[in-house]
Structure formats: structure tokens, C-alpha cells
Structure 1
């Protein structure tokens, strides 16, 4: 912690130290700041008074232990008979702590109190250093993860467009060429063989289209999250034969968000529905996407077999990595993510992202309630 950050003692912190020291020593204790003003005292009425003896010493630069006699108590303002010891922290005097009473008796207590305060200041500084280091680490981690995700999405987008524009066109040309060859075939056997090849290429073209959409749907870039999500859900329902009810709340098809928000919510929807198809054995899924109070929330609920708190008992490594990825994406926005489930009661995934730059208090996933959109 830089020394310049400790130009003065915090009064609340000083008062808490005074209360502790006074309670332990059974003595009247006070602390002044580096100007000699009492900022904490067992006798609360003294707070704000100038301790003249301390102020004179601090002003003169004579930073050392000193006693206050009965005569000084009469002659000077804001002082009481006792011993005062400078509080040294980060190679400078940040204040003075005084213990009232007979100077000879009070001296050991005052020195002990000063060491205690200095130790408390050092402990507090170490804690602040640790908190700053942790904050910097989280910020660097966030930047690192965000960069990785951005690179991944850009690469996905590039590959998707290449598959859509180049590979798909080449396959389409092959299909047309095979059709022409089939029409020119000299016998039925050749015609049938060429048509089978054409059908194989057509299925490959369909698979390439599906892969391109999975990597990066053009609809997401061109028309936005609402349209892309609706289209994805329709194809998903057809592919896996699972009815999916989708509800958009306070969202129109024309509404757009930042590219980062749109791709994050789309990927979470994609991952959640994929997990349901692989593991849930569900007969119905409900998807809610809503905008409310500057927050965008996605809820995906299934009525499948669910799972216990130990994810590894029901889900494989790929799924747990997917869940971690969803959580990590949401945390980049200081959002809220929870996945809750009970055996035989289905699973709910909730992702909430603030649409404005705002730190949100993260809630513990272990305390999250299971979201149910189904009638029991």
C-alpha cells in the first residue's frame, strides 16, 4: 500500500481501537491525529478537542514519548495527566495515543497500546494490499477471458462465413453438376448411382449449413438476438422432437443489443438446450427472454429427470465445462447466473445481464431457488 494513502488515521477505525485498548487495559485512552486533534477517546466528549501537548510536539517535529504532569493538565488545553506515545506507521507519525493516570504507571500501558495500534494499522494495510491484488487479478482475468471469447467468436464468425459462402457454393455446384450427369447417363444403373451421390452431397450441404449456423448464425449478426433465438428454437424442436415454448417479454423483433450481449445470451441458450437434448430426457422445454429494469434475463426450464447437487453423477465433463463457460460469460458483465435442479423435477438455467454498466451483488448458487414454469 503506498505510504501517501495513510496521511491520517481514520476516526472510526481509531475509535474502534480505543474501545478495544481501553477495555483491555481498564484505562482512559485517547488517540490524536497527526495535527494533535483528538479523533478517538474513551471519553467521547473529548473528541474534536485539541490536545495542546501533542499538537506542540507534532508541530515541532519532536516525535517521541512524553508525559503530561498535573501542572500541564492545569496549564494546557485538552490534556490529562498520563503518558502519550507516538504512533509510527510507514516511517511517519500518524498520531499519538495517550493513556491517562500516573505517568510512571501509565507508561508501559501507553507503549503497549501504541504497539497494538501500529500492528492493527499494519494488518489493515496488508489486508488492503491483498484486496487490491485480488481486484487486479480479477480484472486481468476478466480481460483475459473476454479476449479469448472475442477471439473465439471472431474465428467462429470467419469459419461460418467461409462455410456458408465458399464451401456451400462449391457443394451446390457439385449437386448441379451431378444432376446434369444423371440426366446424361446411358443406363438406369448409372443414373441411380449418380443420384445417390447427389443425395449424399445434398446431405453434406445440409450438415455444412447446420455447422455454419452453430458456429455463428448470420441471423444473429443481421437481425439480432430475438429473431436468431426464435429460429434456433424452431430448428432445435424439429431436430430433437422436443416441444419448446418460447416467450419474449418486452422484446420486439427489431430490438437490438450490443453484439457482446447478444452473442452471450445466444450461446447460453444454445448450451442450455444442447444439455437438455443430451441429458435431461425432457418432454417439454420453456424458454423466457425478457427485458426488465435495464436487465436482460434468459430462463430455460425443462421437465426432465433433473440431477442432484453433484453434477458429475449425471453430467459428463463436456457438460460441466459448458456450465462453467455459461457462468464465466455472464460474470464478464457482472451479471447473475444460476443452474438449479432437483432429481425428477427438471432443471432451470437463469442468466441475467445488466444492460448498463453497473456492479451487481452476486448471489450464491447454492442458495438459489429452483425456477419452475410448469404446473405441478
Structure 2
């Protein structure tokens, strides 16, 4: 077992309950023979010599303590002692002071009560451990899925940039040359060239959305500033960025940078789709070993419970953000008030240890 089954505080609480119900002096001994809980507080910490001898024999069993034993063994009083069993292991004994014959039934009843309490605690501990393992496994697979997605995005972005863009550039140049040498079809050819130019621009934008080069080359801060600048121009929304000066040249782990960047993309996209906001504030601040990331808008807000209940696209987006932050051992919170905007706040540890299974 990973935890000590007979915790002294827990044992004392059981002794107090049992002693009050039985109106008897009760004590609990751990598997080393030390009294760890007793109605007689002066006995706590003493060695119960008779229990020690029995436990060291390797054969746990009930036994009585007579007046003769009390005179010859230290730390003992007349009464009856019963082993406490937990998953086929003797973890200690419980004793009831008094006449041996009268105390035997009380001691057995007390032992059953203690064993029931210990088993209940053990079941709860196992359930908690199983839940923690399940959550850890869930996060492990979520991270693997996200990593695979990001690698595919990186791969597609590179192919769009290196192959598709070069092919379109060649077509554009060829159409231009062909238009100059074919006066009769010049207008149609230039029109086709313009279409190819627009397609090339769209491919560039798609490649950047899939995996911005600035994120890999310059880091989270530069990528955030560039994305906010492009976003503000495209959607005509005033976006104010508050960046901690000490972060301007700092790089973080690739995992942290890409996840926070994706959350920025998702949050600002949600603002355009749902918030009807005219102003947005983005804050990136370092607090000792924690990175704080906040996105605040002055939009129409929403009822968070309704969004989660209906499980629409916005809800899926929020769940996606929460999963990303959980994978970083961070904290995610979102507060929204109808007609008073929404505040999304994230805090993630900068120097975190990787998850191990």
C-alpha cells in the first residue's frame, strides 16, 4: 500500500467514537506494536509489549492480557486485543481494557468497525487514484492528438508554401509572358493571371493560418503581435495588445507557444462570429514562473450555461481551449455578462515538467 492505513489522527477519531459508544477504554496499536491512539492519552507513543511479541511472531491472532501479563509486560493493561485486517494484511490491533471475557465481544465489534472504516477509505483512495489515472491518460491522448494535428498542419503549410505557391508563381509568370506575346488573347490571359494571383494570396493566407512561420522563427510574442495586426486590419476592430516588455525576446517551449497561439486564433474568431464587439484587449504578462494570457472584449456576452448545454460550435471551441490548457497544467477561466462583454483568462506554468505515464 502506498499510504499508511492506520493514520494516528484517523485512528484517534475512531477510538473516540468507539469508546463513547461502548463506554470502554479503547486503544489502537500499529503493526510495530506502538500505541497510536487511546482514550488514555498518556499511553499514546508507548510500546505495547504483548502486541509487539505477537506481531513479531508472524501469526496475528486475538489474545487477552491478564493481571499477570500486566505485571510482566510493559505498556499493557488487562483486556482483550483483536487484529485489524485490511486486504488480508494485519495492520495493527485494537484493544478494549477490562475483564478479558467481558471485553472480548466489545473488542471484536470494535475491530469490525475499524476494518469497515479502513476499507471504505481504501475504496475511496482507489477510486481517486483511478480517476487521476484516467484524467492523466485522457490528457496524454489529447496531447498526442494535438501534436499530430500540428505536425500535419506544419506539413501541409510547408507543401503549400514550397510546392503549390511555386507552381502558381510559375503559372502567373507564364500567363504574363503569354499575354505579351498573344495580343489577341491578352485581356483573357491577364484576367486568368489575376485569378492566379488571388489564388496565390489565398494559399499564402491558408499556409500562415495552418502554421505561421513567424511563430517558429520569432516566437509567441511576435506571432501574437502579427496576428493581432492582421486581424485588426481585416475586420476593422480596434485590438489593443499589452505585452510584458520582459517577454519581447523570450522564447517558450514549442508546446506552450503553439497552444497559446491556437487559443488566440480561436478566441478572436469567436469574437468576430458571435460577440459583435468593437474593441478587444489582449494581455500577455509574466508573473514569476507563470505566463498570464487574457483576452477581453466589449461585445454582447453570453450565458455560459446555455452555451455548454446546447454544445454548439462555440461550446466545442471552449472545450478545445480548456483541453489545450489542461495539457499545459494551466488554469482556464471565462467570464461573460450579457451586454457587458467576455473575459477569457489563462495562466500556465512556464517551467513545467512533462507528463509521464
TM class, shorter-length? over 0.9
Secondary structure at the residue paired with 1:343? coil
How far the C-alpha of 1:277 sits from its partner, in A, is 0.7
* Residue 242 to residue 316, structure 1, CA distance change in 2 (3 Å): farther
Question: Displacement of 1:287 after TM fit?
Answer: 0.6
- Asked whether the 8 Å contact 2:83–2:92 carries over to 1, the reply is yes
SS class of match (1:349): strand
CA RMSD, 1 decimal: 2.1
**What is aligned with 1:92?**
89
Residue of structure 2 in register with 1:184 after alignment: 181
Secondary structure in 2 aligned to 1:357?
coil
Residue in structure 2 matched with residue 212 of structure 1 by the alignment: 207
- Tell me, what secondary structure is at the counterpart of 2:291? strand
Question: What does the per-residue CA deviation read over 1:39-95, in whole Å, with 9 as the maximum and x for residues that have no partner?
Answer: 111111101112233223333445322222344334432222221111122323221
Q: Map 1:247-326 onto structure 2 (within 5 A).
A: 247-312=242-307, 317-326=312-321
TM-fit CA distance, 1:321: 1.2
Rounded Cα–Cα distance in structure 2 between residues aligned with 1:280 and 1:333: 27
Aligned partner of 2:131 in structure 1 is 134
Give the deviation of 1:109 after TM superposition. Answer: 1.2
Residue 329 of structure 2 is aligned to residue 342 of structure 1: no
Counterparts in 2 of 1:297 and 1:106: CA distance versus 1, 3 Å: same
Q: How much does 1:348 deviate?
A: 1.0
Q: CA offset at residue 223 of structure 1?
A: 1.1
Aligned length in residues: 354
In the other structure, the counterpart of 1:225 is: 220
Preserved CA contact (<8 Å) 1:288 1:299:
yes
Q: How many angstroms does 1:168 deviate by?
A: 0.9
Q: Which residue of 1 aligns with 2:36?
A: 39
Separation of aligned partners in 2, 1:83 and 1:255: 69
Q: Say whether the 8 Å CA contact 1:250–1:292 is kept in structure 2.
A: no
DSSP 3-state at the match of 1:49: coil
Q: Secondary structure of 1:166's partner?
A: helix
Deviation readout 1:141-179 (Å, 9 max, x if unpaired)? 121111111111011001001111111111111111122
Residue ranges of structure 1 left out of the alignment (5+ in a row)? 360-376
Q: Which residue number corresponds to residue 372 of structure 1?
A: none
**Partners of 2:96 and 2:107 within 8 A in 1:** yes
CA distance in 2 between counterparts of 1:223 and 1:325 reads: 25
Taking a change above 3 Å as real, the CA distance of residues 316 and 124 of structure 1, as seen in their structure-2 partners, is: closer
SS at match of 1:310: helix
TM-score normalised over the length of structure 1? 0.88
User: What is the CA-CA distance between 1:184 and the residue it aligns to?
Assistant: 2.5
Contact between 2:5 and 2:118, CA under 8 Å: does it hold in 1?
no
When residues 283 and 126 of structure 1 are mapped into structure 2, their CA distance, relative to the original with a 3 A threshold, is same
* 2:250 counterpart of 1:241: no
Which of 6, 16, 26 is residue 19 of structure 1 equivalent to? 16
Partner of 1:78: 75
Query: Is 1:167 aligned with 2:129?
Result: no
Q: Does 1:120 align with 2:136?
A: no
**Superposed displacement of residue 201, structure 1:** 1.3
> What TM-score, normalized to structure 2?
0.93
Once residues 96 and 336 of structure 1 are traced to their aligned partners in structure 2, the CA distance between those partners, rounded to angstroms, is 45
In structure 2, how many angstroms separate the alpha carbons of the residues matched to 1:69 and 1:251?
A: 76
Displacement of 1:312 in angstroms is 2.8
